[in-house]
Structure 1
C-alpha cells in the first residue's frame, strides 16, 4: 500500500487558494520578454552552489536585459544550508524567496500542502511536452505541476581510462561493487596523491544518504518494511554500509566524511580520483577542458550493482519552483520558465559548448546531433534516467516510493540524523553497528510520531 492510501488526511488536497498563472503568451520571444509593461519587481532566487547553477547566475543578465522591469537577487548556498533555509522559509510562509531550487522530493509534498504555485498553464512557446514525461511526473502531485526541471540526473560510474589502460584493467558496462573494490585496491596510490575511489561522505539526507540509499537498495536493503518498521539494522544495510566504510577508509581520500558532491567533483576534476560514483550531471563538467584537468581521460559506465539491480541508481536533480508566499508570482514564473527553456539551453551551448548544457530535461536536447557528438556520456545518462523507477526500487516490498529517499515529509530529519551517524562511523567515531542502531531508533521514532507505524 502506497503512502497516499496510508495517510489519507495528509494526501488530501490542502491547497489554499494559490493563485493560478495568468501569463499565457505566444510568439517565439515569449519566454525571453514576457510582460515588459508590468510594474518593476526584484525577485530573490535561492540556488545551490553547483556548477550548472553558477552558470545560470552568470547568464542571468540576458534575462534582465529582456525583462528590464525585473531585477534578480541571488542567494547561492551550499546544498545542506540551502535545503535548511528554503524548507524553513516555505514551511513558515516566510516569503523570503520568490524562486527556489528544490528536488523531486520536495516538489510534490510541498505542492500538495499548497506551499508552491501550480505551473500547469505554461505558454505554448515553453513546449512543456518536450520535457520528459517521467520528469514532469516526479515534480507533480494530483495532476498539478509544481516545479520545472533545471537539470535531471541519475547516477553513473566515472573512471580514468588512462589509468585503467596502464594497469590492464577493463571497466564493464555495469560493474559490480565487488569489482569497484578490486579496481580501487589496484589503483590507490596515496603517495602520488591518487585515491582509488571517491564517494560522498558528508552528512546530509541529500548528500551521503542520497548515495548510500542506492547502495543499500542494490545490496537488497530497504528503509522500512511493509508495516513501517525501520530496517537499518538488517543484514542488508549492515553489509552495504560496512562495504562503503571499509572501501573509503582503505582506498578513499583522507577526510572522506567531509566530502560531498562538490568536494568530490573537485577531486575528480583535478586528477586525484581513479573512480567516482555519483550524479550524472557531473559528466559535462569533467569533460570541459577549461574546468577539468582530466577532460578526455574520463570513461563512463552505469552505476554499480550488488545483489540486485533495483534501486542502484537514482532519479533526481534540481528544479525551480515559485513559493506561494512570494509577493512576485508573475515575475518569478517568468524567470523559472526562462531558466528551464530551450532558449536557455541554447545560451549555455553558445557560452560553454553543447556538452555543458543542463542534461536530462528535454527530448529536443537528446535529438540534437550537436549534443550527441559533444556528449559521449549522453546515452548512458539517458538510459540511467529512463530505467530509474521510484515505485520499484527495492528487492522487498515497501510502503513508500522513492529511490534515494523515502517520500514522506519526515524523511528530511530522518535522513539528516542517519547521515550524521554514518558519517561518524566513516570518521571512526563509532562502529557501523552503533551508527545503524542509532539511525534505526531515530527512523522508527519519526514514523511512529507521524502515525504511520501501528
Structure 2
C-alpha cells in the first residue's frame, strides 16, 4: 500500500505541474457546501436545480466551482491527495473513484437508506465505484460511447447506417457527406489533448484495431502495429473530413458543432443525446440517428463505459450535509425533477434500471435504447482483444495512467495539428511511457507491483 501511496503522490505533483427532497436525515443548518463539478450540460442543470434543495434545507448554502474537464481534474486531484479540504463534494469518474477509495481519500458510502434503492443502479456502474465492497461514490450519470449521425443526410444520399458500423464504413460515409463549402463536415471527433478528452476516444479506436496500452508484464504497447494503424487512421480521418482545427475540440465543442448542424456524424458520449434531441438546444432535433460505437478488428473495448459520480473527500468537515446532498442529486426524485423541468429526454442517463423501464422516457429519448444496449454490453474487466493486467476500457486502473495518457494525448494532438509525424509520435510516446513504468517499479525491479495498485 505504501508503494501505491508514493506513486499516487508523485503522480499528483507531476499532474499539478503539468497542467426533489432529501433522502437521508435533514442536512445540518448554517452549512456551506463547496461543490467541484465539470461544466457538462447535466451538471449545469444540477447547479440550476440545486435551489430546490436549498429551499427544502434551510440554512444549507451551496457554493459551486464549475470548471472545464481538464482543469477540474487537476484541481481535484491535487486537493484530494494533499487533504486540502477545499471541497465537500467532488465530481469524479470511474478512474478516480476506485483509486482514491482504496487510499481512503474518500468517505465510504455504506448503509444507504432503503428509499435510495441502490440496487436499482446498474450493477456494472456500481462496480466501477466500489472497492472492497465499499461504495465510494454515487453515479450522477453513466455513458457509453455511441455513434450519432444525420439520418436526413443519410436518406438524401441513399446511405444506410448499420446498427454497429466499422471504422472503415465511417470513413466511407464521411467522404460522401463531407461538404465544407456548405458548412458540413463529414465527421466530428475529439481532438483536444487530455487523458479524458482525445485519449478517451482514441483508446477505444486502438482497442478496436486490436491494440492495448500494456502487455501482461506491464510493458507499453504503443509503438506496435495496432496503435500505428489506429492513430494514422484517426488523424487521416479528421484531417480529411473533420472541421478546421480539430485539435481544439473536445466533447463540448463537438456537441455544439453537431447540434448546430455542422457535422454529419459524431462518435462520443451517449449523454449528448439529451442535447441533440432537444429542439430548444439543437437545430437537428428529429433528424438524428443513433448506432453503436464503431468497431474494426474487434468490438471488444470499442465503446467506453464512463461514470460521472459524486463523492465526499475524507478531508471534508461536513460529511453529513454532503452525504445528504449527493443522495438527493442522484436519487429517483431528482431524475423526476429534471424530467419535469427540462423534459424526459434530459433525465441523467445510464444509472438506474427504472429509468429504462419508463415508457415515457424511452419514447422521449430516441437515443435511450442504444445507450442501454451499449452500457449492458461493455466489460471493463475484459477491455481488449489480447489479455491485459488492468481493468478499464478507455482508462487503465493505475495511478500513472493520468500522467501517461495526458503525455500521449498532447503528442497525438500535435500530430493532428500538423506538428509531427504519427509514427514518430508513437515511438516517442513508447519511450516516455516505458521510462515512467520502469521508474514506478512495474518491471526491472525485484518485486512485481503490489495487488493494491490495481483497484
* TM-score (normalizing by structure 1): 0.93
Secondary structure of the equivalent of 1:85? Answer: helix
Is structure 2 residue 211 aligned with structure 1 residue 232?
no
Q: Which residue of 337, 343, 346 corresponds with 2:333?
A: 343
| Preserved CA contact (<8 Å) 1:287 1:294 | yes
Question: What is the SS of the residue equivalent to 1:157?
Answer: strand
Of 373-382 and 421-430, more deviation after overlay is shown by: 373-382
**Any stretches of 5+ residues in structure 2 without a counterpart?**
9-19, 445-455
Checking the alignment, whether the CA contact within 8 Å between 1:48 and 1:78 is kept in structure 2 is yes
Choose which of 140, 147, 157 in structure 1 pairs with 2:130. 140
Q: Which residue of 1 aligns with 2:247?
A: 257
Match of 1:56 in 2: 46
In the other structure, the counterpart of 2:364 is: 374
Match of 1:415 among 402, 405, 421: 405
The residue that corresponds to 1:79 in the other structure is 69
| C-alpha separation in 1, matches of 2:89 and 2:332 | 19
Give the corresponding residue for 1:289: 279
- Work out whether residues 354 and 371 of structure 1, in 8 Å CA contact, stay in contact via their aligned partners in 2: yes
Contact 2:383 2:392 in 1 (8 A): yes
- Is residue 2:150 matched to residue 1:157? no
Paired position in structure 1 for 2:355: 365
From 156, 160, 168, the equivalent of 1:170 is 160
* Residue 29 of structure 1, CA deviation: 5.4
Q: What pairs with 1:10-409 in structure 2 (closer than 5 Å)? A: 10=4, 30-31=22-23, 34-35=25-26, 38-409=28-399
State the Cα distance separating 1:252 from its structure 2 match. Answer: 0.1
Which deviations, in whole Å up to 9, do the C-alpha atoms of 1:163-192 show, x marking residues without a partner?
Answer: 101111110011110000000000001111
SS of 2:106's equivalent?
A: coil
Q: Give the whole-Å Cα distance in 2 for the aligned partners of 1:86 and 1:156.
A: 28
Question: What residue in structure 2 maps to residue 25 of structure 1?
Answer: none
Q: Which structure 1 residue ranges, 5 or more long, are not aligned?
A: 1-6, 15-27
User: What SS class does the counterpart of residue 60 from structure 1 fall into?
Assistant: helix
Q: Note the C-alpha offset of 1:442.
A: 2.0
In the TM superposition, residue 8 of structure 1 has moved relative to its aligned partner by 9.4
- Write the distance in 1 (CA, Å) between the matches of 2:72 and 2:25: 29
Alignment root-mean-square deviation, CA: 1.6
Q: Distance in 1 between matches of 2:214 and 2:2?
A: 19
Instruction: Output the CA distance in 2 between the equivalents of 1:105 and 1:264.
Output: 23
SS in 2 for 1:72: strand
The Cα of 1:30 is off from its aligned counterpart by 4.7
Following TM superposition, by how much is the alpha carbon of 1:323 offset from its aligned partner in structure 2, in angstroms?
0.3
Give runs of ≥4 in structure 1 deviating > 6 Å.
none
CA distance in 2, matches of 1:442, 1:9: 21
Cα distance change, pair 64–432 in 1 and its aligned pair in 2 (3 A) = same
State how 1:431-450 maps to structure 2 within 5 Å.
Answer: 431-450=421-440
- SS at the partner of 1:313? coil
Displacement of 1:10 in angstroms is: 3.7
TM-score (norm 2): 0.93
SS of residue matched to 1:300: strand
The question of whether the paired residues in 1 share the 8 Å contact of 2:211 and 2:226 is answered with yes
Residues 236-287 of structure 1: per-residue CA shift (max 9 Å, x gap): 0000000000000000000000100000000000000000000010011110
Match of 1:452 in 2: 442
CA contact (8 A) 1:34 1:67 kept: no
Distance 1:438 1:213 in 2: 17
